[in-house]
Structure 1
Amino acid sequence: MNRQPVVAGRFYPDSPDQLRKELQMYSGTQNAGGDRPVDRLIMVPHAGYMFSGEPCGKTLAQSKLSDTVFLLGPNHTGLGSPLSVWDKGSWEFPGGKLDVDEELAAKLIESRTGFVSNEKAHSREHSLEVIVPFLHYLNPAMKIVPVCVSEASPSNLRKAGEAIAEIMKDSSQPISMVVSSDMSHFVSADQAKKLDSMALEAIIRMDPSDLYSIVSSNQISMCGVLPMTMAMFAAKKLGATSGKLVQYTNSGQATGDYERVVAYAGVIIT
C-alpha cells in the first residue's frame, strides 16, 4: 500500500511545479558529495516550509546521505504502536514518490526490539511526510524506512537504537538516519533559545541519555526527542562522537512574532 500525502497544500505546495521551486529555493544546488563517508545521522525540522524550509533544506544540502535512509519522526496523533514501521510500498507526494526499502524494514521488525508493521501511526502524521519531498529532490532513487516513534522508555529507546546500529553495521551498503524534529514550541524566542541550547549541546556532544534527561527535566517541548534519542544511541554505537549545528531559527523570522514561537534546528552528526 502506498502512503498518500495528507498535508500537501497546507505544510507545502500541492502543485508539483511550485513544490519543486520551493525545494530548489531552500536546498539550492549545494551538495556535500566528495569522497568523505556518508553521514550516519542528521536532524531536520518539519513545520510548514515557510517556517522550517530553510534550515531543513540547508542541512540536507550540507549533508551526505546514503541511498537508503531510516526516516524517524515523532508521533503527534497518538495513533498506532510505539515503534511503528511503514514497511511496504511507496510514500507519494505531489509530483513524485520514494520507495520503501522493504527488505530493510523487515529486518527492523525481525529484530524483536519493539518495531512493528503499523500504518495507522503514519496515516495522519506530518513529521515524516514534509521531509520526503526534500529527500527526493536531493536523490530521487533514495529508499526509505519510515518509523513513527512514541516509545518513551529510555532503555527501550537504547535497545531499539542499538538494533538499528547492528542492521547498519551488517549492511553491505551505507545507511543513514534522518530524524524529523522541531525544537521548543509556543514560548518566547529568548526562552526557546535558552532551553534549546541545552538540548542541542547534548546532541552535539553525542550524549543521548543526557539529551533525554535535559529535555525531560527542563520540560523542553522538543517534539522529536524520542526518535532523536533512539537514533543517537544507534550513531553512538557505530562510533559517532560529535555533531555540528547547521542552523537554528524560529517562526518569528516569518511571522514577526517573537513572543510565541516554534524553534527549528538542523544538525549533522559526523
Structure 2
Amino acid sequence: MRTMKNIFIILAVLTIGSIACQGPQTNIVSVRIPIDSVGFAVTAKQMDIVMSRLSWEALPATADPWKVVISPHDDYQYVSDIYPLLLQNIKSDVVILFGVAHRAASLGLEDSLVFDNFDYWSGPYGNVRVSSIREEIMSLLDPGFYTVNDSMHGMEHSLESLIPFLQYFNRDIEIVPILVPYMSPERMKIAGNKLAAAISRITEERSLSFGKDISIVITSDAVHYGNEDWGENDYAWYGCDQAGNQQAVAREYEIIENCLTGNLTEERIALFSSYTLSDDNWKEYKWSWCGRYSIPVGLYTALYIDGLSLPDGKLVAYSTSILNNHTDFTDNDMGTTAIATDCHWVGYPAIGF
C-alpha cells in the first residue's frame, strides 16, 4: 500500500550507505537509512508518542515468547495497535527478518534470497546491529540460492516498519534481514530447506534456543483490495460495495484458517501458494498478498529447522485499513502513504507461533 513511496526512494537510495564513520586508517561503517518518514516513526520522540497512543498491554494468547510471527507492514496510523500487540512477545536478542521485495523486478531479482551488506540499520533509538549470523548463513548456503543487494534493501519498506517496534521492546536487538523476491512454489520450498539447514547448524553450534535467543519475523500485508488507485490493476474480485468487501474479508479468514493457524505442515504452506499465486504464472497474483513469497519461504524455513518444535499458529489479530481503528499521528510529523476507502484497502494479518 505504497502509492507515495516513490517520493522517498530515489533520494534514499542515493544516500544509502553514505552515513558512515570513516577517517584515516579506519573502517567504514555502513548504515541502512529509512526511506519512509511518513508512515513509520524514525525518531525516538516519534516512537515514544506512537507507543503512548496505542493500546498494546493485552498479552497475546500464549505465555511463551513467539518463535515465529507474521506481521503486517503498512502505515502505523492504519495498522495501529496490531503492531505492538504482536511484536511485544518477541523476546530474543536476534531476529531473522523475512521481508517482501516489492520492486525486485526493477532490479531483475528472482529465485534468490536477498541479503544486505549493511553493518547497521537505523532505528529511532540508535543504530540496530546486523548480526554476524548473517555472514555465517551465507557461508553455508549454496551461492545459487542467495545474492547480496543493498539497492534492493535500500528501496524496500517492509522490514523497516518492524525495526522501531522491535527496538522499542529490546534496545539490544540484532537483526538478519532477508528479502524474498519472485520464486516458484518448488523453489521456495527448496530455499527454505537450505536456509533451515544453515540456521540449524548455527543454532546448534552457538547453543541458541528459538524464542529465547533467536526468532523469526515474517512480514506481509494481506490482500490489497479494490479498483481505486492500484495503478492499472483491478483487485475488486467481489466488487467493492459492502457485500463485496465482506466476501473479501471472509476469503481472508479462510486463507488464514486453512494455511497459517494451527499445525503447520508442508501441505498447508503449499496451499497458501495455491491461494495467492496464479495457476498459469507464479509471478502473478491470484489473491493479492504481497508476502506471497516471504511467507512460504519463512514458514518452510521454520518448519525445517532442527529442534525448533514449532507451536501451533495463533491468530492474534486480523483487520483492514478500513475496518481497523486508526490512530492519528499527523501532529507527530507522520501520516499515511495511500488512501483507505471501500475500493482501496489492505488486510493486516498478525499470527504467532
Work out which of the residue numbers 293, 301, 304 in structure 2 matches 1:226. 293
- How well do the aligned residues superpose, as a CA RMSD in angstroms? 2.4
Work out which of the residue numbers 11, 18, 24 in structure 1 matches 2:46. 18
Contact 1:87 1:106 in 2 (8 A): no
Work out which of the residue numbers 255, 258, 268 in structure 1 matches 2:342. 258
Matched positions, count: 264
Work out which of the residue numbers 175, 189, 203 in structure 2 matches 1:158. 189
1:84 positional shift: 1.1
> Does the alignment pair 1:235 with 2:296?
no
Unaligned ranges ≥5, structure 2: 1-29, 227-239, 279-284, 327-338
Q: Which residue of 2 aligns with 1:268?
A: 352
1:212 positional shift: 0.9
Q: Distance in 2 between matches of 1:225 and 1:264?
A: 14
Work out which of the residue numbers 171, 183, 208 in structure 1 matches 2:222. 183
1:29 positional shift: 4.8
Q: Which residue of 2 aligns with 1:173?
A: 208
* 1:46-73 superposed Cα distances (whole Å, 9 cap, x missing partner): 1110111321221112x34421111111
1:185 positional shift: 0.7
Contact 2:96 2:176 in 1 (8 A): yes
Compared with structure 1, are the counterparts of its residues 17 and 68 closer, same or farther at alpha carbon in structure 2 (3 Å cutoff)? same
Compared with structure 1, are the counterparts of its residues 84 and 27 closer, same or farther at alpha carbon in structure 2 (3 Å cutoff)? farther
TM-score normalised by L of structure 2: 0.68
Contact 2:34 2:122 in 1 (8 A): yes
- The residue type paired with residue 47 of structure 2 is L
Q: Distance in 2 between matches of 1:127 and 1:27?
A: 23
> Does the alignment pair 1:119 with 2:150?
yes
- Please say which structure displays the higher CA radius of gyration: 2
Compared with structure 1, are the counterparts of its residues 133 and 223 closer, same or farther at alpha carbon in structure 2 (3 Å cutoff)? same
- The residue type paired with residue 277 of structure 2 is S
Q: Which residue of 1 aligns with 2:276?
A: 215
* 1:11-38 superposed Cα distances (whole Å, 9 cap, x missing partner): 1234431222213443745677x984x4
Q: Distance in 1 between matches of 2:184 and 2:39?
A: 30
* 1:126-158 superposed Cα distances (whole Å, 9 cap, x missing partner): 100111101101111111011111132222211
1:99 positional shift: 0.7
Compared with structure 1, are the counterparts of its residues 31 and 99 closer, same or farther at alpha carbon in structure 2 (3 Å cutoff)? farther
1:92 positional shift: 0.1
- The residue type paired with residue 260 of structure 2 is I
Q: Distance in 1 between matches of 2:119 and 2:340?
A: 41
* 1:150-195 superposed Cα distances (whole Å, 9 cap, x missing partner): 1322222112212332233331213211011100112343243122
Q: Distance in 2 between matches of 1:256 and 1:129?
A: 21
TM-score normalised by L of structure 1: 0.88
Work out which of the residue numbers 126, 133, 136 in structure 2 matches 1:96. 126
SS in 1 for 2:161: coil
Structure 1 vs Structure 2: percent identity of aligned residues? 24
Unaligned ranges ≥5, structure 1: none
> Does the alignment pair 1:66 with 2:123?
no
1:263 positional shift: 1.0
Q: Distance in 1 between matches of 2:215 and 2:248?
A: 29
Q: Which residue of 2 aligns with 1:245?
A: 315
Query: Is the strand fraction higher in 1 or 2?
Result: 1
Q: Which residue of 2 aligns with 1:2?
A: 31
1:2 positional shift: 0.9
- The residue type paired with residue 131 of structure 1 is L
